[in-house]
Amino acid sequence: MRLLLTTALCVVSLLGCNHDKPKPETKISSQPRAAETFGAMNTKPSLMVHQHVKGQNVYVECILSGFSFSTESGFLQIKVDGKPFKEMKQAAFVLSDLPKGSHTVTIELMKSKEESYQVRNTFTVEII
């Protein structure tokens, strides 16, 4: 009987605590967030590239600022040894099955097939 009474008292006290929850003290700001103002700054996009060679594949990660694939209509034009290789609409990708030897890879941010943002990054990889 004593155990039942103690359990009931604990349940009642726990249920009673749900009504006095503190309210958050944060204020809602009417200023746009950084992501919303990012595109509005009209800054020239920039491109930084990280790459890693594994076998005959080159794993590429592009870090873009001033550009977003979700809001812009542009793409990345990838050239290997000066020849068009791929067009990508994502910042991370794999250049697969490159032949053995040294290759120069150029990644350029394009507005359309004819118009470039004049933002590019060139690097050399060695496929063994």
Read off the pLDDT of residues 11-33 as tens digits, 9 standing for 90 and up. Answer: 666 666 555 666 666 555 555 55
Average model confidence (pLDDT) across the chain: 82
Mean pLDDT of 50-63: 95
Residue range 90-107, pLDDT digits in tens: 999 999 989 999 999 999
Q: For the whole prediction, is pTM greater than 0.85?
A: no
Contact 49, 60 (CB under 8 A): yes
Q: Residue 68: helix, strand or coil by DSSP?
A: coil
Q: Could you tell me the domains of the chain?
A: 41-127 (2.60.40.10)
Question: What are phi and psi for residue 114, nearest 5 degrees?
Answer: -100, -20
Q: Could you report how far apart the first and last alpha carbons of the chain are, in Å?
A: 79
Structure tokens at 111: 């507005």
Per-residue pLDDT, 36: 47
Per-residue pLDDT, 115: 93
